[in-house]
Amino acid sequence: MYPPERRLRLRGRFTACYDSGRKYFTRHFVVFALTRSPDGVPVRLGLTVGKKCGGAVARNRIKRVLRELFRLYWSEFELPLDIVIVAKKTLDAAGFSLEAARRELMPLVTRLCKDFARATEA
């Protein structure tokens, strides 16, 4: 289970990521990332999967896979970040697996850590 303290829940946090965060693009996702003050939780994750990605079953599958990915790899983040992942409508939920998510998002996680580490040093 992905712990509640590692989730973005409030609309204001999502909006802050959209407005002030850095934007990254992958084949099936748009990722917004924003640094925040350290509070003991390294990364908080917010997910947005719209109806264009499919019905409720498909949307929930995408969210489950993404939460599991971040549950397994949350230790990769050293910096306190708020991350919002928005699924594009081109994502096929039936063929979407944990391995596919890992292949697409883990290089981005490495890039996020480098970019934000560089920003905090400057």
pLDDT digit string (tens) for 40-58?
777 899 999 999 999 999 9
Q: Are 44 and 82 in contact (CB under 8 A)?
A: yes
| Token reading at 32 | 């917004």
Give me the number of domains the chain comprises.
Answer: 1
Q: Which residue range(s) make up the domain with 53?
A: 4-121
CATH code, domain with 72: 3.30.230.10
If you write DSSP's letter for every residue of 32-97 in order, what string do you get? EEEE----S-SEEEEEE--GGG-SHHHHHHHHHHHHHHHHHHGGG--S-EEEEEEE-TT--STT--
pLDDT digit string (tens) for 57-112?
999 999 999 999 998 988 877 788 999 999 999 999 998 999 999 999 999 988 98
**pTM for the whole thing?**
0.91
